[in-house]
Structure 1
Amino acid sequence: MFKLWATIIKDFRVLRRDGIGLALMFVMPVILVFVVTDIQESTFQMINKNKLPVLIINRDTGESGTQLIESINKIGLFKVYQLPKNQDTKFVSDSMKQRDVLVAVTIPDDFTRKVKAKAKNVAGKALVSFGLQADSVQKDPGEIDPLTLYYNPILQEQLRLSVQGGLRSALQLVESRETLRSLYFSINEKQLPTNLENEMLNNKASINEIPVSKNGSLRTPNAAQHNVPSWTIFAMFFVIMSLGGSVVKEKTNGSFVRLKTLPTNYAVGLLSKQITYVTVTVLQAAVIFSLGIFVFPLVGLPPLNVPIDVFGLLIVTIICGWCAVSYAICVGVFSKTQEQSNGFGAISIVILAAIGGLMVPSFAMDTSLKTVADFSPMHWCLQAYYGLFLEGGKLTDVMNYLVPLVLITLVLQFITFLGLKRKNLI
């Protein structure tokens, strides 16, 4: 026990002198958590609370074009700016750049005429089906000329699809209003009352959103719940920059050989490194979680909600840290130089994070990548954390994620042992 304690103290002293490694393990993930959470929260705010600026060129002279603009305003997603109607594409492009606007819409000049003709045609067909007015069916006027949507190429596809969905909703509202008016006039030979029109168009069922959780709580997830666990895992695995290099350094400077001449076993040194760096990963998690809980609300970010099972959170953190440390030692054992360890370690961590769901949600991946994700330890780490933070589960609820993670860790430990034996280091 004394040998192990002395070795742990030695490893902590070595780690304390590694300023770059400490910065990568603590400073870098803290910055990442702040930046990524702030960006994601800003995106949510832009979609849900702030409005997306949109330029509209209304070349239509009828009422349908005006109604379409009003409908776009009522959606709540857009802040509308109107431009003069007699402008070309270059003027629209220049206006978007000058006003820093990502989206512009052009309403065609015969929009009202086509909408009314289409509405009368649809109303006539409806009346025929009712057996009320067989001679009301007019010649099909053809499709309504499409709106023209200009967008900046930097606009992400997901947000662009949201914009298209909003425009389609506004367009459908205009068409439905005109069809209702036409039907009402054909049957009653008078205009549809405004209050009845609004009642018919606004008669929509509401949507009640309830997040599914293990314990039945209704805690709504936020950007912090998603990002803090993700980048905590990323920080844990980045101990490879310090630990992997330390293992390589001990191999190249003869520390392994000297240990073999002493009345001890290298297993003591290996266990010491694992205890030391698992402690570091737990400290990383404590620092990042504390920032999410106490600092995020002070800077306007959503606070991190602590899981109900704090003991389960500690166990998950220790197992995740143990897996990260095992991976770092394994890479260090098989690397010949510190440059190899650092280069391969950094690149492999980014790849494992990408396929593990830290950068792109796993549900958005295709089937082949989902299969590959099962081999990434970060995937199981993330699922375990999400089970606690987002689903409100307990330790027993995330055991199905921890078992594969422990198996991966044991495989890494076994590969490390084979590498040490092959190199005659133990």
Structure 2
Amino acid sequence: MMHKFLMSVYKEILLLKRDFGGLVILFVMPLVLIVTITLIQDSTFKTVTETKIPILLVDNDKGEIAKTVQENLNQSGSFEIVTTLDNTSVTEAIAREAVFKGKYQLAIVIPEKLSSDLQRKVNQNVEKILSTFGMEDTVTAAKIQEIKPKEVKLYFDPATQLSFKNGVKSAIDKMISQIETKSIYATFQDQLGETDEPLFEQKSFISFKEIVPKVDDKEIVPNSVQHNVPAWTLFAIFFVVVPLSINIVKEKSQGTLVRLITNPVPYAIVILGKTATYLIICMIQFWLMVAVGVYLFPYLGLPVLEIEGKLLLMSTVALFSGLAAIGFGILLGTVAKTQEQSAPFGATSVVILAAIGGVWVPVFAMPKVMQYASHISPMNWGLNAFYDVLLRSGSLLEILPEIILLLLFFLLTTTIAIGYDKKKRAV
């Protein structure tokens, strides 16, 4: 039995050697993919955090608020303020046209008399409050004139991402709120008279502090490499479904499988031979991906993949992920009748499993229905296990549920494949 198994493995290796181009694609394609995607995502991150984005500012106010908004935008380090185009001051019409044509991502239009009207409104409110305490003349309070609310207009390029829009709107809203608050404090200070020290402390009382996990007193800061290496490693591993299923269909159409079984070689031995061979391919893919993350990425200006003390657990996750992928490929190859069925369906199904598994879009950002659907994707199980090891410093016990699910998926798919083949031959 062992001899038949080894001969089956040897046969698979010979088949792979004959398809050298396909073998190169299995190893080179994932490496090109992971380098390209990580560089794009890392450069996008740097664009947001390091490179200044030019934005148009239309200042119709010419007052203190416009000056404060411009100073705060400059101090953020994320924006380059543009107030003139072709030596002409930017108007709202010019700004709107430039943004809607995609030349700029954002234009901020500050309305006329914003500073003066805000100060008048604050004065009215302060006088009204003080009059209730008998500190102001009620006649003055009665002369309050209605001041219409002002709007700071934001024009966004229609192609701008929603996350960028929300971030900018939140930042500007916070900025305006702080300006209003300071104006109220300053007006109260003036109305109550000069003092040696400020009556109101204007420092923020509530602040935010991010608490991140630490290992050996070092903060664990997730980066693009820690997310992309496991995600695209899984994608590469599961892509063996395509050549594996094609291989099985070829054997059926060429009569190779019939000759093997008449030797006799049980179909289960044939399956084990394919499993062992393609599992080696999956592990080589994984180790190549890790090597790229550790040794090549630093030369490309990317963060290094930290695997110290984690490689064994990561290899365990890759091993069982490979088993799950191989089981799916065996089932597909057994059920499919032609290569035209197995190849497109295999590639499409892998893309779908990657999509709902969180490889491209984080599961938490998906609609509720898709979040529930993600639980049936073996890629999601493998990805969670990788994240537990890399980002959460998880132990074998913590990734055991995902490993069991991956193993059960392999056993279920191979059992169905063997049962289907046996039933088909009995007919």
> Structure 2-normalised TM-score?
0.90
Residue 116 (1) aligns with residue 128 (2)? no
Q: Within 5 Å, which residues of 2 pair with 1:81-100?
A: 81-83=82-84, 85=89, 87-90=91-94, 92-94=96-98, 100=103
Q: 2: CA distance between counterparts of 1:118 and 1:425?
A: 89
Looking at structure 1, the residues matched to 239 and 24 of structure 2 have their Cα atoms a distance apart, in angstroms, of 10
Using the TM superposition, give the Cα deviation of residue 307 of structure 1 relative to its aligned residue in structure 2, in angstroms. 5.4
Which deviations, in whole Å up to 9, do the C-alpha atoms of 1:157-194 show, x marking residues without a partner? Answer: 0111111112112222222222222111111158x98x
Q: Which residue of 1 aligns with 2:181?
A: 176
2:51 aligns with 50
Q: Name the residue aligned to 2:422.
A: 421
CA contact (8 A) 1:72 1:166 kept: no
* 1:241 paired residue number: 242
Q: How does 1:55-74 map to 2 (within 5 A)?
A: 55-74=56-75
Partner Cα distance (1:189, 1:213) in 2: 50
> Structure 1 residues 280 and 139 mapped into 2: Cα distance closer, same or farther (>3 Å)?
farther
Alignment of 1:71-82 (within 5 A): 71-82=72-83
Supply the distance in 2 between the matched residues of 1:324 and 1:131 (Cα, whole angstroms). Answer: 79
Are the structure 2 counterparts of residues 141 and 116 from structure 1 closer, same or farther at C-alpha, using a change threshold of 3 Å?
farther
Q: How is 1:6-405 mapped onto 2 (pairs within 5 angstroms)? A: 6-83=7-84, 85=89, 87-90=91-94, 92-94=96-98, 100-124=103-127, 126-127=129-130, 132-133=135-136, 135=138, 137=141, 139=144, 141-142=146-147, 144-188=149-193, 200-203=201-204, 207-212=208-213, 218-306=219-307, 308-405=309-406
Q: Which residue of 1 aligns with 2:410?
A: 409
The number of aligned residues is 421
State the 1:125 CA deviation.
Answer: 5.0
CA–CA separation in structure 2 for the residues paired with 1:69 and 1:26: 51
**Secondary structure of the corresponding residue to residue 423 of structure 1:** helix
How many Å apart are 1:225 and its aligned residue?
0.4
* Residues 133 and 415 of structure 1, relative CA distance in 2, 3 Å threshold: farther
> Does the CA-based 8 Å contact 2:27-2:285 persist in structure 1?
yes
Q: Secondary structure at the match of 2:210?
A: coil
- Give the TM-score taking structure 1 as reference length: 0.90
Q: 1:85 to 1:200 in 2, by over 3 A?
A: farther
More off after superposition, 210-219 vs 24-33? 210-219
CA contact (8 A) 1:330 1:413 kept: yes
- 1:399 CA displacement: 1.1
- What residue identity is the alignment partner of 1:386? Y
Supply the RMSD in Å over aligned alpha carbons: 2.7
1:356 Cα deviation from its structure 2 partner: 0.7
Gaps of 5+ in 1: none
**Aligned-pair CA distance for 1:134:** 7.1
Q: Which amino acid in structure 2 is aligned with residue 145 of structure 1? A: K
**Structure 2: distance between partners of 1:131 and 1:415:** 87
Paired amino acid for 2:183: E
Name the amino acid aligned to 1:155. T
Change (3 A) 1:123 1:165: same
State the SS of the aligned residue for 2:409.
Answer: helix
Q: Percent identity?
A: 31
Task: Work out whether residues 118 and 140 of structure 1, in 8 Å CA contact, stay in contact via their aligned partners in 2.
Answer: no
SS in 2 for 1:319: helix
In 2 relative to 1, CA 175–328 (structure 1 residues): closer, same or farther, beyond 3 Å?
Answer: same
- Alignment partners' CA distance in 1, 2:156 and 2:47: 17
Give how far 1:257 is off. 1.2
Secondary structure in structure 2 of the residue aligned to 1:93 = helix
Cα distance change, pair 143–411 in 1 and its aligned pair in 2 (3 A) = farther
Q: Give the whole-Å Cα distance in 2 for the aligned partners of 1:281 and 1:131.
A: 82
Separation in 2 of the partners of 1:121 and 1:127?
10
Asked if the contact 2:74/2:81 (under 8 Å) is kept, the reply is: yes
Are 1:244 and 1:341, in contact at CA under 8 Å, matched by a contact in 2? yes
One-letter code aligned to 2:98: D
| Contact 2:99–2:155 (8 Å) recurs in 1 | no
The answer on whether the counterparts of 1:213 and 1:391 sit within 8 Å (CA) in structure 2 is no
Does structure 1 retain, via aligned residues, the 8 Å contact 2:222–2:391? yes
How many Å apart are 1:143 and its aligned residue? Answer: 5.1
In 1, Cα distance between equivalents of 2:426 and 2:239: 25
Post-superposition Cα deviations, 1:192-236, rounded to whole Å, max 9, x if no partner, equal: 98xx69x94444655443324799863211110011100000000
Q: Which structure 2 segments of 5+ residues have no match?
A: none
Which residue identity does 2:170 align to in structure 1? G
Query: What amino acid maps onto 1:94 in structure 2?
Result: A
C-alpha change, 1:142 and 1:303, in structure 2 (3 Å) is farther
- Which stretch shifts more, 34-43 or 282-291? 34-43
CA change 1:170–1:330 in 2 (3 A) is same
| Matched-pair contact (CA < 8 Å) for 2:8–2:270 | yes
* Shift of residue 2, structure 1, vs aligned partner: 2.2
